[in-house]
Amino acid sequence: MGKYEQLAEDIVKNVGGADNIVSLTHCITRLRFQLRDKNKANDEVIKAMDGVVTVMHSAGQYQVVIGNHVPDVFAEVNRTAGIEENSPISEEESPSQGIFNKLIDIISGCFQPMLGPMCASGIIKGLNALLVFLLGTAYSTSGTFEVLNAIGDAVFYFLPVILGYTAARKFNVNPIVGMITGAALCYPTIQASALSAANEAIGTLPAAGDYFTTFVGIPFVAANYTSTVVPIIAIISFAAQIQKLAKRLVPEILQNFFVPLFVMIISVPVGLLIIGPIVSMLTELLTQGFSFLYALSPIVTGLVVGFAWQILVIFGLHWAIIPIAMINITTLGYDTILVGQFGTTFAQTAVLTAMFFKMKDKNRKALAVPAIVSSVFGVTEPGIYGFSLPAKKPFIFSCIAGGIGGALFNFLGGQQYIIGGLGIFGVVSFISPSGDASGMYSSFICILVSLAVAFLLTFFFWKDDCLETDRTVKRTDSIKMSKEIIGSPMNGKIIPLKDLEDNAFSQGALGKGVGIIPSDGKVVSPVDGTVTLLFPTLHAIGITADSGVEILIHIGLDTVQLQGEGFTAHVKQGDKVAKGQPIIDFDLVAIEEAGYSTQTPVIITNSQELLETIETVKKEVKEGQELLTVLF
């Protein structure tokens, strides 16, 4: 069995099976599913899998955050589910989404497949610019420069061709037709510069300017579409509608070449004559709007972008900003919007480093190291989901530090000339094509300030509340053994953990314990302790005993789908509770009538850090009676 084969099989099973998957793509750290029915996906089981960081619902997608090895997991999931990589979504089977979610989904779907190669090209361009700065004119006129420049520049110059392919896959258009459409936009003799040089102006159109030629008598207002982003996506969207119409009208035996013929002969001219000029004017207005915002206050712009960036990343909404930055680079030669987020990577790195020094749990310290390394190179999701976000304060500190770094970088006049590498590789993105490296020097200042602010805030104002390691140290030093009696939180029949109907619980993935089939709808605290987790849907509650033992009570299976209906909490997160104190009431009949199992796992979630967990031998228990004995 391959390294990720079992993980892939478990993911496919718990997203509702292969039949529930409409399409699958991935970005740097996430599997991004389009599911027919998201209610079939089991969030809690997937989150608990070894190899999964967390699960997100965003932009109409079901996102499983994996980490740096996502390409390998992606390949295994595709093989397991029997789906084609980056499979397109037909409109008939695409889940309904709001306009904003659909827009984000389109943007991310078009850019995700090319993100890695685009960043690699950006690094090559940046390194070439660095060599020009270091070696001067002798290098900039050399063949080495020309070859590296061609490698680095090609993806950006012919961006409409590449986006033509990815957009065609997204809109279910023939990918080669998409590439040909993109190539037509880049064709040298119809570029605005070529037409204006070869012809005299025939006339002028309001808001569009001079035109130098016509197409079947229609004025052709040409533009330079090389390196552009939005026009090709809009044209391919239109081409998808033409393709659907052509498939209905053309006999199936002739569709192989007549459908592409009709798609190209209609969509390319319409794109060049109407869609391209209109979209270009709109993107120009958008660029001017952000330039106006930046002109009002570069500092405030950097502060807002830097503070909000990681929050946008969590929900996948940062895709709305990336195309704007690319438009700025195309039209202005540089961008100032993404400059504001540059410090966030290093803010997250510093937060994780400070947490590493203050963490008491050796296992978590060991896990923090790869998350720190990953963040240095621009992949922050493992650190966000695994460490800073659950701890709350460190994540807020990283946002504050990112905002300060962004404000400072914009104040120093930072300009980004390419969409280049992530993290530390991004510093070369701020070297101008002429070899001016002042922007790179400013990026170093941004890095240092972001690192310092995030580290100091976390180191001095965050406290690791984890008690387990303290208790372990004391036990080792004194060579003593203690025990905690866990009372039953409810009345009911005992069921062995292995017999539960949920794999995550039955296989012990979440810890040792037992299951209870409740006979009534009352839950009491099994120990004296603190409520450390109370799900918004009230179907699960976590209590940390005063001794440090952590107990999870999960009322029923898949009951998160009830969205809190039938559950009433008598406590809130952070409350101190006494053993036997009522904490939750639930409607037993309503759960059964809704079709959900009432099997209730009672789990010791930190059992791997304890000496032993012993289950009761009773077949039935009353609330408060001995259920588990924990040795530590």
Mean pLDDT, rounded, for 225-229: 84
Give the percent of the chain with pLDDT over 70: 91
Mean pLDDT, rounded, for 544-561: 90
Residue 447 has pLDDT above 90, yes or no: yes
Residue 155 has what pLDDT? Answer: 86
Q: Highest-confidence range of 8-22, 40-54, 189-203, 220-234, by mean pLDDT?
A: 8-22
Give the percent of the chain with pLDDT over 90: 37
H runs (alpha helix) in 384-512: 389-391, 393-411, 438-461, 468-478, 503-506
What CATH number labels 5-96? 3.30.1360.60
Query: Which residues lie closer than 8 Å to 278 by C-beta, 6 or more apart?
Result: none
Query: Residue 6: pLDDT band by 50, 70, 90 thresholds?
Result: confident
Q: For residue 582, what are the CA distances in angstroms to 28, 499, 515, 586?
A: 45, 27, 19, 12
Residue 106 has pLDDT above 80, yes or no: no
Domain ranges in the chain are: 5-96, 158-287, 297-461, 483-631
- DSSP 8-class letter at 416: B
Mean pLDDT, rounded, for 323-339: 85
Residue 182 has pLDDT above 70, yes or no: yes
Domain 483-631 part of CATH 2.60.40.1930: no
Residue 473 has what pLDDT? Answer: 36
Alpha-carbon distance of 404 to 455, in angstroms, equals: 13
Residue 478 has what pLDDT? Answer: 38
Query: Residue 548: pLDDT band by 50, 70, 90 thresholds?
Result: confident
Instruction: Choose between 348 and 420: higher pLDDT.
Output: 348
Mean pLDDT, rounded, for 255-279: 92
Residue 481 has what pLDDT? Answer: 53
Residue 223 has pLDDT above 50, yes or no: yes
What's phi and psi for 372, nearest 5 deg?
-65, -45
Instruction: Choose between 429 and 607: higher pLDDT.
Output: 429
Mean pLDDT of the chain: 84
Residue 91 has pLDDT above 50, yes or no: no
Q: Name the nearest CA neighbour of 369 among 388, 356, 350, 359.
A: 356
DSSP run (H or E) holding 532? strand 529-534
Give the type of residue at 355.
Answer: M
pLDDT digits (tens, 9 = 90+) for 26-67: 776 788 888 888 888 998 888 888 888 778 776 678 888 887
Mean pLDDT, rounded, for 609-625: 84
Residue 342 has pLDDT above 60, yes or no: yes
Alpha-carbon distance of 225 to 279, in angstroms, equals: 11
Residue 450 has pLDDT above 90, yes or no: yes
In this structure, what token pair is assigned to residue 149? 């420049």
Alpha-carbon distance of 408 to 445, in angstroms, equals: 8
pLDDT digits (tens, 9 = 90+) for 407-422: 999 999 999 998 877 7
Matching residue, tokens 């390691």: 469
Residue 475 has pLDDT above 50, yes or no: no
Instruction: Choose between 477 and 386: higher pLDDT.
Output: 386
Q: Highest-confidence range of 343-357, 361-375, 553-567, 598-612, by mean pLDDT?
A: 343-357
Q: For residue 344, what are the CA distances in angstroms to 58, 244, 382, 403?
A: 21, 44, 14, 8
Residue 92 has pLDDT above 70, yes or no: no
Residues annotated as catalytic are 27
In this structure, what token pair is assigned to residue 95? 């889940």
Alpha-carbon distance of 320 to 299, in angstroms, equals: 21
- From the centroid of its chain, how far is CA 111? 13
Residue 258 has what pLDDT? Answer: 92
